[in-house]
Structure 1
Amino acid sequence: MTPRIGIIPGDPSGIGPELTAKLMAAEGIREAAEILLIGDRCVLEQGMRQAGVDHALVPVDPGDWHAPSDGIAWHETETIAASEIEVAVESAASGRSVLATMDRALELLQAGHIDGLVFAPFNKAAMHMAGLAHADELHHMGEWLGVTGYLSELNVLDGMWTSRTTSHIALRDVADAITPERLEEAVDLIDRTLRRSGIARPRISVAALNPHAGDGGNFGREEIEVLRPAIEAMQKRQMPVDGPWPSDTVFLKLRDREIDAVVTMYHDQGQIALKLMGFERGVTVQGGLPYPVATPAHGTAFDIAGQGRARVDAMRQAFDIACDMVANWQ
């Protein structure tokens, strides 16, 4: 079955509209999936001008649509006027556009009109200016879709995956937030997501919290009292996980493809490693949602917005991962 992928252009003030236009011009995209663009005409046309490409937008009924031969299927929204778009500026108007377009895409996912979603970068500050009540878009999506289970962003680069035991919290609060239950949820989530992306037998390692994995308790006891017992309990249940490994070496195992994923203890522990290896190609998968949702891991890049310089690599990888997840979703 050909995946049906919805794509929204992200923050109108950033590089999202340009990336969307460039993705539509990339080789093999329209053969890989039926694509439904979801967004305002002025935003999509702005992206085409920035990218120096021209696509025919073909209006379709989102309840009964197929990819047309003479253009790109398009579900129109009306969330922002062209005069309200300030390129390279955080604004409540752009934030409202993002929230409205995202919610419409979630409606289409719930109704079964699309199988997966790819969104160009959002700007959290603009979304909060517009009334976002959560720390990030993942938890907004989770509440909107009625998800009660564990949610966490998963980061992907060239087939290397990371998940987080804790995420958007202060570093001083991390140690207290790490519990056996939280670690097990993080391992289980990335295990399920890897299988849904086509990896039948995932290999997962856990990063330690403390230097040298605590050095036998000299530099902290979280590895002894929390992490190792939780990992051993998961291994007894045949979960494919090992560790805890010192975080300054575990990513070498990931880079060398000895493992498929690292479960980190906090946000930057995994982000720094993957972004150093390929900032312009990284992807964030919205883990724990009932549908495949992916986005570039980089931001709205206001420093180059509107200049036609944005690289489409991460947007393409997000699209490819969404297609793979649709194909393997169970």
Structure 2
Amino acid sequence: MSAPNRPIIALAMGDPAGISPELTAKLVALDDVRSKARLVVIGDRRVFDEGARVAAVKPELKTVPPGTNFAIEDGETLFVDLAHLDPAQIERAVASEAGGVFALENYRHALILARDGKADAVCFTPFNKRAMRLARPVYDDEIAFSAVVVGLTTPASEFNVLEKLWNARVTSHIALREVASRLSIERIHRALKLTDQCMRGAGLARPRIAVAGLNPHAGDGGNFGTEEIDIIAPAVAAGQRDGIAAQGPFPADTVFVRARDGAFDAVLTMYHDQGQIAMKLLGFDRGVTLLGGFPFPICTPAHGTAYDIAGRGIASVGATKAAVLLAAEMASRAAGSRSQAAAPGATA
């Protein structure tokens, strides 16, 4: 096993009607995950045990009540049992208020652990947006919810990570008709800076960021729109003046091919599906979603709750494993940076 200073990852169980329980059980049974992180799983032990039965695994966990001042032994995984959902109340493959309440409370608990310094990062298995809104009608997305719980007032954004390729976005969960009006030089410049910052935190010394255009053929010199000329290009230039290795704007229909082939480390897109479609085609069952801009990493698999295969024990744990490993890597690097800054003789 690795050194005892492995980061502590608070892992919240997601939607109980989908594949989240079996993914959680599969994950904690993996030796290569436990060698990189100390896991604290949050949920209901009855739901977890049902997931373990479906997944045909028997992971070893030490169950503790909420509020425990836990110390994790080497190789040990803890389970914080909130005891708040009887699996008999959940119909498999059906989004419900009870399922949304379960997932939100688990996630809130994980965020509070990290906010209060008891965990180094947060991960969660997939949520179902309908269930979340049944439980909390004002629920928009994980970014907004996390910001409220953590008390974040600075910008945050969602990133998709597929092995060495990142996708960042300027706008996210909004109607497509609103995208053009939401774009500004300042907003794109801010997205570039946050992307550069988060990628450096994951170990890329100087990430190469391609910026996608908004319009077909990146506006074709103004024939199909002028956002590229008036807004996007000036924002790219502002990022370059900050020392960011940004280029663009490029046509969105070809930029991911270039990035896949190694020309760029990341693509900054203007709206949600402009990047999501490409990333999920490239690796649906391997992608990770990272919430960047928070004081600690927050990661989850990029795929959804997969109601169509829930309960069959065939869900791939690949993306969930990748999410935890990315969170552990970023948390370890952040801890190393803090130790270096605090060392005697360190300069600002």
Please tell me the TM-score bracket, short chain as reference. Answer: over 0.9
- Measure the CA separation in 2 of the matches of 1:304 and 1:272: 21
Q: Which residue is equivalent to 1:39?
A: 43
Q: Which of 161, 169, 190 pairs up with 1:185? A: 190
Task: Determine whether 1:306 maps to 2:285.
Answer: no
Task: Determine whether 1:51 maps to 2:55.
Answer: yes
Pairing of 1:120-199 with structure 2 (within 5 A) = 120-199=125-204
AA of the residue aligned to 2:63: P
Q: Which residue is equivalent to 2:286?
A: 281
Pairing of 1:15-164 with structure 2 (within 5 A) = 15-60=19-64, 62-67=68-73, 69=75, 72-164=77-169
Task: Determine whether 1:2 maps to 2:36.
Answer: no
- Measure the CA separation in 2 of the matches of 1:67 and 1:223: 54
1:230-267 CA deviation, whole Å, 9 max, x = no partner?
A: 21122122222111011111111210122111100000
Contact 1:163 1:262 in 2 (8 A): yes
- Measure the CA separation in 2 of the matches of 1:138 and 1:229: 27
Q: Aligned residues: percent identity?
A: 47
- Measure the CA separation in 2 of the matches of 1:193 and 1:79: 35
Change (3 A) 1:297 1:72: same
- Measure the CA separation in 2 of the matches of 1:260 and 1:68: 35
1:68 shift after superposition = 5.8
Pairing of 1:198-213 with structure 2 (within 5 A) = 198-213=203-218
Q: Which residue is equivalent to 2:262?
A: 257
Contact 2:132 2:139 in 1 (8 A): no
- Measure the CA separation in 2 of the matches of 1:234 and 1:72: 43
AA of the residue aligned to 2:187: R
- Measure the CA separation in 1 of the matches of 2:238 and 2:142: 33
Contact 1:62 1:108 in 2 (8 A): no
Q: Which moved more, 1:51-60 or 1:292-301?
A: 51-60
Q: Which moved more, 1:25-34 or 1:289-298?
A: 25-34
Gaps (5+ residues) in structure 2? 338-348
Contact 1:12 1:43 in 2 (8 A): yes
Contact 1:14 1:302 in 2 (8 A): yes
Contact 2:211 2:269 in 1 (8 A): yes
- Measure the CA separation in 2 of the matches of 1:175 and 1:125: 27
Contact 1:87 1:302 in 2 (8 A): yes
What TM-score does the superposition give when structure 1 sets the normalisation length? Answer: 0.96
- Measure the CA separation in 2 of the matches of 1:146 and 1:47: 33
1:194-235 CA deviation, whole Å, 9 max, x = no partner?
A: 011111111111001111111111111001111111211221
Task: Determine whether 1:247 maps to 2:259.
Answer: no
1:104-128 CA deviation, whole Å, 9 max, x = no partner?
A: 1111111211101110000010011
Q: Which moved more, 1:134-143 or 1:303-312?
A: 134-143
- Measure the CA separation in 2 of the matches of 1:130 and 1:197: 34
- Measure the CA separation in 2 of the matches of 1:134 and 1:36: 25
Contact 2:206 2:244 in 1 (8 A): no
- Measure the CA separation in 1 of the matches of 2:11 and 2:209: 30
- Measure the CA separation in 1 of the matches of 2:331 and 2:57: 28
Contact 2:193 2:239 in 1 (8 A): no
Q: Which moved more, 1:225-234 or 1:290-299?
A: 225-234
- Measure the CA separation in 1 of the matches of 2:110 and 2:240: 39
Aligned to 1:274, the other structure's residue is in SS state helix
Pairing of 1:219-258 with structure 2 (within 5 A) = 219-258=224-263
Q: Which residue is equivalent to 1:14?
A: 18
- Measure the CA separation in 1 of the matches of 2:14 and 2:249: 37
Supply the RMSD in Å over aligned alpha carbons.
1.4
- Measure the CA separation in 2 of the matches of 1:255 and 1:3: 31
Gaps (5+ residues) in structure 1? none
AA of the residue aligned to 1:91: S
Aligned to 2:167, the other structure's residue is in SS state strand
1:37-73 CA deviation, whole Å, 9 max, x = no partner?
A: 111111110110110011233124742311465x531
